Each structure stands twice: as structure tokens, then as C-alpha cells.
Structure 1
Amino acid sequence: MTEVADVVVVGGGIAGLITARELGRDGVGVTVLEARDRLGGRVWTDRRLGRDLEMGGTWLHWVQPHVWAEVTRYGLAVTRAPRPEEAYWLAGDEVRRGTLDGFMELIDPGMRRLLSETMRWIPRPDAPVSAPGLESVDGFSLQDRLSGLDLSVEEYSANEAAWVGHFNAPLEDGAFTSALRWTAATAGSWHLMHEASAVFRLAAGTRSLVEAIAGDTDADIRTRTEVRRIEHDSAGAVLTTTAGDRIRARRVVLTLPQNLIGELDVDPGLCAEKRAASKEKTASKGVKVWIRVRGPIEPFFAYSSAAHPLSVARTEFVGDDDAVLVSFGADARRISPHDADAVRAALRVWRDDLDVLEVTGHDWMADPYSRETWLMHRPHQLTRYLTAQQRPEGVLHFAGSDYADIWAGFIDGAVESGLRVAREIRTGLGTAH
């Protein structure tokens, strides 16, 4: 027996839930199929180390228009980590100790030079591939452009470390245009870009946003339901799950990340650009580690480099007798978020006075339903693939933070893409809104 639905959304992350909510308001019958046992996708609040911790996407900001509208819509409270009192960074192999303001002053000249032509190449972040000649810079890695600045050892190390944290990848893998896109989204201000990408978070966790959106739709939402195959033609599509169930739909929304979408069995197959991007993979391949240490400690942040297992660490929660740090490394293969001894050793690059009590995290690179962390393109991928990644293929539509225009890789990008795809389907089905 084959079920029938107006629209099937594959993936119950933010993009899929936004799509379902918007279409449901037009009376469109939507079924959401989520392979995991939870909703949210790469957004996941979990209770660990005595706190509600974000295993995946975390930060948002009022300059991120789509997610901030959702924060306002649902009345969600926003908070932030304690401001760091101390800062640690490397000058070559030497550890420097100072303040947040001192570190920001150190990297400011390099940041300004690196990003000086942001608004030339990405004048409209909502149309990221519109500038003539963008291909001429899209072939550069961030490492290429940073190395060309001829900075002092200390300036270079500090700038490199800041960008490794943003990219969650070795800088030779990441496209220079990815840095330009983030900065264009804040009108060329690297200071504001830094704040928008790493400071403010939801007080009740990202689960509060997931629950609010899911509770605002009457879609048929099914977890633990993995799609195995999609057959489609001009009249619609038939989806087959791993359990052998079949659903016929007039439209299908695929929200799989770039690294994963090429593995889905689709007949006829997806376009060459989508498949090529999926085969190449994104640049980001890092790890996020949560670390509980004995307290009390002063809030701090620390940067090392892509050559170290952990390139960034900072205090996110402070208790009476403990503190919880969040840390990132550029390559998930180099350190496990569950290996306390390896984490202790990694922290010693900055300081040896931290007593690590517990560690945790999630290996998104090994997760069969993501195979990536947040989107950072490789050289050439923006100009070669983004337009095709967003483009519908017959009755198939494509949503997800990886395919957003403005804040790709962020929660904001997931909301944006869900709104875009809902509009596409609404137009195609002839519904009014």
C-alpha cells in the first residue's frame, strides 16, 4: 500500500520544520520524515556535564534576520557566555597571555587587510554570486590570502588561529570567499562578524526553537524514518523508506547536507553540480568538545592553530566549583570528544593548571545523517555549485543551511532556506498565502 501526501519533507532539522510550518499555513498536507530519533538535525541541545549543552549549532545574533525573526515570533530569551577575563594565544611556539581587547587589537590590522575588498566581491550577501569576476577570487584558499599579507609571526599566528576557529578546518582547505561571505553579512565589519558568529545563544537552548517551530505546525512528523530511495517524474515522486513503506507526494523537499545528499538513491539522478559538490565534500571537518574543569576559574579564551588538536577553547559556563569550556579542533580525526586524556594534553598548549573532570561531544563527521559540521566551502565551490544546489529538479526542492544565501552554515541559513523552498512550492502548487 502506498500512502499519499501533498509534500514530503526529508529531514526534521530547522529547514525542514520551517518548510512544513509555512506550507501548513496554506492548507498543504505535509509529512516530515526524520531518520534520527529526535528533531533538530545539526541543532541539538543535550543534558551533559550538569548543563544543557549544544552539541551542534549554537550562536545567533540580531544581524541574522531570519532566525532573529523566529526568536521574536516565539519570545525566546537570549543569553551569552561570561566575557573572558584572560586570553591566551601563540606567537610561533610561545604562549602569550593578555586580554580579549589586546588580542582583538593584535589581529585587527591583518583582518582589515585580508577583508578589505569584501564589499567589492560580495556587495549583496543575499546574492552571493552576483559580482562580476567573483570566480577570480573563488579559487583562492583562505591560507593563500592570509600568507600573502606578510604579517609578523605573532600577528600571523593570531589571525590564523581566529580563522581556524571560524572555519572548523585547515585553512588550506577553506575558500577565501567563505570568509568574505561571513563578513559581507555584517556589512564588511570583521568585529561584528566575530560577535555574530560566536557570542549569543538561546537561554533555554536551541531545543526551545526546535520545539517552538514543531509545535507551530500540524504536519505529520515521523522520527526514526529513514528514506532509502526516491523515484520522481513530472507528476510527483514516490519515496521508499528503509522499512519498506512507500509514500507518493506531489512535491519533495530534501534537506540533506552537502556531504550527504549525493549518497541518496534518486531516480532520475540529481544534477552533476549537486553530485560533484557532495563528492568533493565541504572544507569543515572539525570537532566540538565540551570540557568540565574544576573551579573556580576566571573566564578565558585561547587560540592555537590548525596544527594542534584543539585550536580554540573558551569558558562557556561558570559554577561555584567548576566551569565548562567549549573547544574546537580543525580535524575530527585528530581528537575524540570523549577522550579526556587527549583533551588534557591538548589544553596544555596554553596552560597546565586546568583539572579536567569530564569531556563530551558528538562526532558529526562520523554521524551517518550529517557527515559534516557547519558549511564552509572549498575553493571554487561557491561559484560552481551554489546556484545549482538551490535549484529545484522537477518536483524535488532543496533546503538546508548549506544552501542559504546570507548566513550559510548557521541556524539563520536554515530558516532562510526553509522560507525560500516553501515559497517555491506554494507557487508551483498554486496556493495562496
Structure 2
Amino acid sequence: MTTDVLVIGAGFAGLTASRELSNKGYTVQIIEARDRIAGRTWLDAKLGRNLELGGTWVHWAQPHVWAELTRYAIGVVPPADYEKAYWHADGQSFQGSPDELMALLDGPNRELLAPSRALIPLPYEPLSNPAVKAADQQTISERINALNLDPMSEELMRSFWALNFNGRLDDAAFTQALRWCSAACHDWLLMFEVCSAYKIQGGTAALAEAIAADSNAELVLNAPVAEVRQTDSGVVALDRAGNEYRAKKLLVTLPLGALESVRFYPELSSGKRAAARLGQIGMGAKLWIKVKGRHERFVAMGPADWPLNFVQAEYLDVDTTTLVAFGPDGSAVDPEDATAAQELLRRWIPDIEVLEVAGHSWVDDEFAQQTWAMHRTGFLSESLTELQRPEGDIYLAGSDYASGWGGFIDGAIESGLQASMKISNALKIES
């Protein structure tokens, strides 16, 4: 059987595109490598509660995901008020209020991101000002250096951006930071709120399941694709078990890091292959940690090269506290090693006692090979347009290829909507 559209991947991009196309009357089949939907978001039962192992946060400043939440009458969980902050900078440990920590970051971030309005005035047209191409060759590390900050401010800024990139900053594109700020109305404080404040009621699974239920697409799980061939009559995909899937059009929603895990005949363009080989910066870790005792609701920052450079208290129970932590190098954090997590946390709180840890190594996940999409220098000006360009009957979509909120659920939905429109228009022309 030949369907109108075959979709590789049931993350938010694939689910959104499939819903749009199937509800227009096209036959759509989704083949998903995992035994579940939702891609790099994953709500799972860990440490005695449902925890988000991957992507989490949403905001009304993200128009695509907010429209979906409105469509399905799904609310958000507001953030808690934090009471205490720990930070480590310039070789010293500090304690204070969260407002004091944010004040240390405020001036430097305003200065760093001041060019966002001039260079990226339209967040969903990030190349509209040709001058952005020169800025795209600069790293965020170079731009922080140029601020000539005092040692404490510089170290905190590097940690803050290592948190945002979930990776090391040596090749991290300055334009990636500008794109986020532009999408947040050129306001870094709003940008930070978007990144870290509001969660979906019922978790990311609630939204993914609502989109899937609103679709007429056929879903096939546990079917990792090995090979794709373009023919004169459309596209043929083979999964690892040898099953064959035929369609007029193919939408590939693999992350950039996993794009080369599928063999394409003929090969994708040299530009797409070069971008996939380079990959992106988000190669870090997210770890959930349950500790003994009911702690104050705190946030903690450490140097950018610590295995865990950011921690915050998410859930306070009667005699335990559950923390979420991030680090820039996924290979430096073992999501099953409670002893190592305790050693890291004691850099801030010397007597803290870790009971359990949980997490998922997205970098080691063969279907992801990265965390959220944070791009290298040159990606915006040299790769994004090419990755968004269809090749024959093959289209790409996903958070990695979004114009706006790349790295977020919103970007995945945006990209899925754009791809579905391109595919629909192509099918109309051919019918």
C-alpha cells in the first residue's frame, strides 16, 4: 500500500504534521522507533512521582505551543517562589536570595543581548537582516569576553549560558542566544521565564496524547528506520526488521544528531550532510535527585565546567526534596549513580544526603544523540535554510530546524506546521 505521507518520528513535529495532513483527508502513516510517542519529551514514573526526563517548559510567549494548549483546554502549572540561592564563582561559595543572584546576571545579560532587536528584529525570520551573518560566526564565549566583566560576573554568565545551551560554549553560536531573546520580545528576563517557569498540566504527555488522539494517522511503534529511497513514484522506507513503507511524500523528524543514522538514496544534499556531521551543542545532562529532608526551595549555580552546574528544588515533600539538575557534558553524569550526585551537590550544601537519582542519557540515546537543539557558529547563516528546503519528496521537520523557538516544544510544533503546509501544497499540485 502507498500512503500519501509517511512520517518518521512521533515527536511533537511528527504528531502535529500528521494531524494536520490526516485531517485534510490525506492518508498518513507514522513510524516511530521507540515504544512511545513524544520524542525528546518523556514523562515517566521515577522517584515516586511523574517526572519529565526531557523537554518540559512552555509559555504564552511561545505562540505555537500555546495555541495547542488552548485548543485542547490544557492548563499550565505555575512556578513556585524560590527562597534561597547558592552560587560558586571566582573560587568562592556564596549564599543569598534568588533576587540577588538574578541581579548579578541582569546587567551583563542586558548588555550581551542588546543587539537582538537590530540583528533579529523578526524572530520567525531570523535571517531578515543580512548583518546577522557576521554575528553568526561569533561564539557566545567571545561575546562574554568582550563584556570585560569582573571575575564573578563572567563566571556566572558562562554558567548561565552553559545551562541554556546544555553544553560547552567553545563553538556555541552567539546568534542562538539572540534568537531566543528576539522570540521573547528582546527581553532576557522574559526569555529566562519562558525557559524555566511554566509546565504543562498533566505533563508533556498530556499534550502529545491530545494531538495524537486528534489525528487520523496510523501509528507504528518500535520501527526504527534504516533506509530511505526516492523513486520515480515516491519514497520507500525500510525499517530494521525489513518492513517496507511506501508513500508519495516523506517527512523526516529525526534530530540533527540522529539524521545520519538513516541511509538515504540518493544522499541528502552536501549542506544537510555537513550540518548533520557537525551536530549541535546540546550534549549535556538532566538529572533528577531525591534528597533526604525537606529543604528550603533553592536554586544553585556553579562554574560552567562542573558536571552539574545548575540545580533547583522542584518538589518538597514531608521528609524528602526532589531536585532537578543540569550539566554541560552528558558523559560526565551517570543518571544511576547516587553517590556521585551527592558528591556534586555537596559543593553547595556540605551535609546534603542523596537517596535516589533518575534520568535518561539523551546523548547515548541512539534515536536522539543530543538533548535540545542549540546550534554552533555558522548554523543559522549556512545550514538552516538548506535544512528547511525539501529534497524531491523528502521534507525535514523538528525543533532542530525551527525558525523561532528552536530547542523547545514550540519550535517542533512550528516546524511540523510549516512542513505539513509544504507537503499539502505539493500534493495538491500533483493531484
Name the residue aligned to 2:302: 304
The match for 2:35 among 34, 37, 43 is: 37
Name the residue aligned to 2:259: 261
Name the residue aligned to 1:5: 3
Q: Hey, what's the Cα distance between the residues in 2 that align with 1:135 and 1:349?
A: 41
Contact 2:282 2:370 in 1 (8 A): yes
Name the residue aligned to 2:70: 72
Residue 205 of structure 2 is aligned to residue 207 of structure 1: yes
Q: Hey, what's the Cα distance between the residues in 1 that align with 2:305 and 2:249?
A: 46
Residue 113 of structure 2 is aligned to residue 115 of structure 1: yes
Q: 1:76-155, aligned counterparts within 5 Å? A: 76-155=74-153
Contact 1:168 1:286 in 2 (8 A): yes
Amino acid at match of 1:391: R
The alignment partner of 1:180 has SS state of helix
Name the residue aligned to 1:274: 272
- RMSD (Å), alpha carbons: 1.2
Contact 2:85 2:299 in 1 (8 A): yes
Return the offset for 1:111: 0.6
Return the offset for 1:353: 2.5
The superposition leaves residues 244-285 of structure 1 with CA deviations (integer Å, 9 ceiling, x where unpaired) of 111210000000011111231111110111101110110111
Residue 336 of structure 2 is aligned to residue 338 of structure 1: yes
Contact 1:255 1:400 in 2 (8 A): yes
Residue 352 of structure 2 is aligned to residue 328 of structure 1: no
Contact 1:230 1:237 in 2 (8 A): yes
The match for 1:18 among 3, 16, 19 is: 16
The alignment partner of 2:144 has SS state of helix
The superposition leaves residues 117-147 of structure 1 with CA deviations (integer Å, 9 ceiling, x where unpaired) of 1111111110112211222111111111101
Name the residue aligned to 1:351: 349
The alignment partner of 2:237 has SS state of strand
Contact 1:291 1:325 in 2 (8 A): yes
Q: Hey, what's the Cα distance between the residues in 1 that align with 2:395 and 2:241?
A: 24
- The list of structure 1 runs, each at least 4 consecutive aligned residues, that deviate by more than 3 angstroms after superposition, is none
- TM normalised by structure 2 equals 0.98
Contact 2:120 2:127 in 1 (8 A): yes
The superposition leaves residues 335-373 of structure 1 with CA deviations (integer Å, 9 ceiling, x where unpaired) of 112111111111122111321110010000000000000
Amino acid at match of 1:292: K
Return the offset for 1:234: 4.7
Return the offset for 1:178: 0.7
Name the residue aligned to 1:192: 190
Return the offset for 1:173: 2.6
Mean CA deviation greater in 245-254 or 78-87: 78-87
Amino acid at match of 1:33: I
Amino acid at match of 2:353: D
Return the offset for 1:92: 1.1
The alignment partner of 1:119 has SS state of helix
Amino acid at match of 1:354: I
The match for 1:374 among 356, 372, 375 is: 372
Q: 1:196-235, aligned counterparts within 5 Å? A: 196-235=194-233
Amino acid at match of 1:297: H
Contact 1:289 1:360 in 2 (8 A): yes
Q: Hey, what's the Cα distance between the residues in 1 that align with 2:99 and 2:204?
A: 29
Amino acid at match of 1:252: L
Would you say how many aligned residue pairs link Structure 1 and Structure 2?
Answer: 430
Return the offset for 1:77: 2.0
The match for 1:240 among 223, 238, 241 is: 238
The alignment partner of 1:174 has SS state of coil
